[in-house]
Amino acid sequence: MNKTKSIVVASLMVGMGLTACNSGNVRRNPGKTYAPDMTYSRAYDAYTSNPNFADSQTSRKPVDGTIAIGHELPDHLVEGDTNAYKTFTTAARFDEAQLKEGQRLFNIYCGICHGQNLDGNGPLYNGGNGKFAAAPANFKDGKYLHMPVGQMYAAVKFGKNAMGSYASQVDIKQRWMILAYIKKVQSENGGEAFVFGTAAPAKDSTKAAAPAADTTKKVAAATGAENNKKG
Amino acid sequence: MCGKFGDCVVVLPLLCLKGTLIFNFIPVPESFKPMFQKITRSAFAFVIALLLSSISAYAAPDGKAIFQSNCASCHNPLKDATGPHLQGVDGRVPSKDWIYNWVHNSSAVIASGDKYANELYNKWGKTNMTPFPGLSKEEIDAVVTYVNSVKAPTPGGETPGATGEAPAENNGWLYTIITLALVVLMIILWRANAGLRRVASEKEGLPVEKEIPVYRNKVFIAVAAIVVFIAAGYWIVNGAINMGRQQNYQPQQPIFYSHKVHAGINQINCLYCHAGAEKSRQAMIPSPNICMNCHKQINEYTGEKEYPLYTAEGKKVDGTAEIHKLYEYAGWDPVKKEYKRKANGDIDAKPISWVKIHNLPDHVYFNHSQHVKVGQVQCQRCHGPIQDMDEVYQFAPLSMGWCINCHRQTQVQFANNNYYSIFEKYHQELQAGKRTGVTVEDIGGLECQRCHY
């Protein structure tokens, strides 16, 4: 009978050992690999820790004064220079596809606070019931309706009050597309006429100018021409 | 005992054909013959039944797996998402064939003027469902069976994924217990039978052979050896295939950042933080300044009651403390409400060392923008229900077979996409109606050098 006993004990121990290996459903360990030096790159990848720099980051900022291929020329805005903000603008003009892209970008990066209707009531604020305590700017409201586009640009680049800087998320081209979209919507809601459209605004004006009076149209034409001269 | 072990293994296959053969080779007491025959037969029937059941489990399509890899990015069994919820879909639609046609090519069903199809199309924002011509009828049936079996998560309970898995596990345990009970019963009956036989023989004065203990019984050893061999082989092969694959890997992160709270409950777009996903190879891990866009203001977690946070092990997490961990990294002073500065005026921040979850080996090139921007692939297609994950785990196996399968099945958004304007022949064929769509494979998505260079 000793043998039977020892067999029973051995099988019990094996069973217990197997259950001990099963650590539940959570996999905290990535496990073993066939070729660790291939699976885990030995070269410094974008996010690997790097002993060559004090902050251990491999991704570095571009060298001062350099521009990456395909990127816009830098604007020369300085944080806090409120006079420069007011006259700052762009020579770029945007067609319908770019305005649509601007809307898409707005909904991703701005809509969460400013609302997809641009009424300052995004899901995070939610009429004061949301997580974000400060009311975001309502672009259809008096103060922001007539805000110079350069001032808005500065707010995107440097942040303003409760709003942080979005320079790391949206590049210069994207910023202007977003701002053009905002200005387009504002022009349809009593703001200044839209001047960032492309040279062929036939479609735009029929769409946008329904409630606008004739006078604003003339102003639009005039400012548009001025801008073109400047550009 | 060990010397004759080899004989047993050689002889056993013959036993399948004729139960008595084995006794010509191995000396076994005559009176045990019928009993051995019975036992060996039942043991073999048991092993074959096991094999058959495992084979049929492979052959029958796994509705859950098909649903997760093809449907889950747009459909939820219970809730309306990009597309309608799927539970009870077989009761809603006109006929079963309608489902097959719809899944294989929904635009053809709409074009045919089908009333229900057109209502559906108009109700869901006139967006076409991706066609899945590769799914067989059995696979579609399996998906329908799966979505009908999903139960609503209990209020305040776990994530839908966890409850979805629970019934399958319960069934498995049930079968195991029943099988074990039957085996125990078999042994008891066999022992009782042997005991009775011995008593009977003693009474009749017949000579009683000494009983051989079960662990020295050669037939038993042979059967056990084969079973162990099959099980170990299955285990080793599976283990070898899965080595290096990290599906379900869910590491502990330096900050308990819940994607469920941010992307799910608060509806923040994935690209808000991972802005690089449509611009570069890397999806971009947000730097603390992006967190601080909101967390300058939001300095406590207010969802403790509705959405209490738990680690995957079930440990309670203090959301507010986690936000304050972020402040440490970002160099933010929550009391003074300003950044702590170093002597040279720089913000006294340090990078957060997040643990990388999705890891592709060095010899595989993967580019996020190529998939997100050019291919218009939804994040959830590869990352799973990220909006329901408190702690992120690796949803996809990230195996090459998985990549290739998607490249074969997925139709790229070909029309109005400048990235594909050079494929003139395909555009002409599409216009002429010769082809219904262009898969990634058609534009070279299976070429080795696409990913390995």
Q: Which domains does chain A have, with CATH numbers?
A: 82-230 (1.10.760.10)
Residue of chain B minimizing CA distance to A7: B215
Q: Which of A47-61, A131-145, B145-159, B261-275 has the lowest mean pLDDT?
A: B145-159
Q: Report yes or no on B161 lying in a domain.
A: no
Q: Report yes or no on B76 lying in a domain.
A: yes
Determine how many CB atoms are found less than 10 A away from the CB of residue B35: 13
Best mutation site among B258, B272, B300, B347 for testing chain A: the one with the most A CBs within 10 Å? B272
Task: Name the residue with higher pLDDT: A42 or A24.
Answer: A42
What is the CATH number for B129? 1.10.760.10
Q: Is the pLDDT of residue B366 over 50?
A: yes
> What distance in Å separates the CA atoms of residue B261 and residue A15, rounded to the nearest whole number?
40
Task: Please write the tens of the pLDDT for every residue from A114-141.
Answer: 999 998 888 888 877 778 877 888 898 8
Residues of B in contact with A4 (CB under 8 A): 213, 215
> What distance in Å separates the CA atoms of residue B271 and residue B284, rounded to the nearest whole number?
9
Task: Please write the tens of the pLDDT for every residue from B265-275.
Answer: 888 999 999 99
Domain boundary among B388, B409, B436: B388
Q: Which of A96-105, B44-53, B361-370 has the lowest mean pLDDT?
A: B44-53
Residues of A in contact with B245 (CB under 8 A): 31
Domain boundary among B150, B169, B184: B150
Select from A38, A47, A132 the Cβ nearest to the Cβ of B297: A132
Domain boundary among B342, B357, B388: B388
Give the tokens for residue A72.
Answer: 């816009």
- Which uninterrupted H or E stretch holds B338? strand B338-339
Give the tokens for residue B12.
Answer: 């056993």
Q: Report yes or no on B352 lying in a domain.
A: yes
Instruction: Give the sign of the dihedral formed by CA B261, CA B266, CA B267, CA B271.
Output: negative
How close is the nearest chain A Cα to the Cα of B248, in Å? 6
How close is the nearest chain A Cα to the Cα of B398, in Å? 12
Q: Are residues B267 and B340 in the same domain?
A: yes
| Cβ distance of B361 and A27 shorter than 8 Å | no
| pLDDT, averaged across chain B | 80
> What distance in Å separates the CA atoms of residue A122 and residue A145, rounded to the nearest whole number?
18
Q: Report yes or no on B19 lying in a domain.
A: no
Range of the domain at B440: 401-451
Q: Report yes or no on B181 lying in a domain.
A: no
| Cβ distance of A30 and B275 shorter than 8 Å | no
Q: Are residues B420 and B383 in the same domain?
A: no
Rounded (to 5) percent helix, strand, coil in chain B:
55, 5, 40
Q: Are residues B369 and B420 in the same domain?
A: no
Q: Are residues B406 and B319 in the same domain?
A: no
Q: Are residues B281 and B354 in the same domain?
A: yes
How close is the nearest chain B Cα to the Cα of A146, in Å? 25
B231 touches chain A (CB under 8 A): no
How large is the average pLDDT for residues B407-429? Answer: 86
Best mutation site among A8, A28, A114 for testing chain B: the one with the most B CBs within 10 Å? A28
Q: Which of A84-88, A173-177, B319-323, B399-403 has the lowest mean pLDDT?
A: A84-88
Q: Are residues B384 and B405 in the same domain?
A: no
Q: Are residues B415 and B369 in the same domain?
A: no
For chain A, where are the alpha helices, taking DSSP H only?
2-21, 36-39, 82-87, 96-105, 111-114, 142-145, 149-158, 172-188, 202-208, 214-230
Select from A27, A40, A108 the Cβ nearest to the Cβ of B269: A108
Q: Report yes or no on B445 lying in a domain.
A: yes
Q: Report yes or no on B239 lying in a domain.
A: no
Select from B271, B290, B297 the Cβ nearest to the Cβ of A134: B297
Q: Are residues B263 and B384 in the same domain?
A: yes
Q: What is the ipTM of this complex?
A: 0.76
Q: Are residues B79 and B137 in the same domain?
A: yes
Q: Are residues B355 and B430 in the same domain?
A: no
Neighbour-count burial for B236-262, b at 16+ CB within 10 Å, e otherwise: eeeeeeeebbbeebbbeeebbbbbbbb
Q: Are residues B320 and B419 in the same domain?
A: no
Residue B143: band (very low, low, confident or very high) from pLDDT cuts 50, 70, 90: confident
Q: Is the pLDDT of residue A171 over 50?
A: yes
| Cβ distance of A112 and B359 shorter than 8 Å | no
Select from A32, A38, A56 the Cβ nearest to the Cβ of B243: A32
Q: Are residues B80 and B132 in the same domain?
A: yes
Best mutation site among B274, B296, B347, B372 for testing chain A: the one with the most A CBs within 10 Å? B296
- Which uninterrupted H or E stretch holds B309? strand B309-310
Q: Report yes or no on B346 lying in a domain.
A: yes
How close is the nearest chain B Cα to the Cα of A17, in Å? 16
Residue B169: band (very low, low, confident or very high) from pLDDT cuts 50, 70, 90: low
Select from B251, B266, B287 the Cβ nearest to the Cβ of A123: B266
Q: Is the pLDDT of residue B54 over 60?
A: no
What is the number of domains present in chain B? 3
How close is the nearest chain B Cα to the Cα of A227, in Å? 30
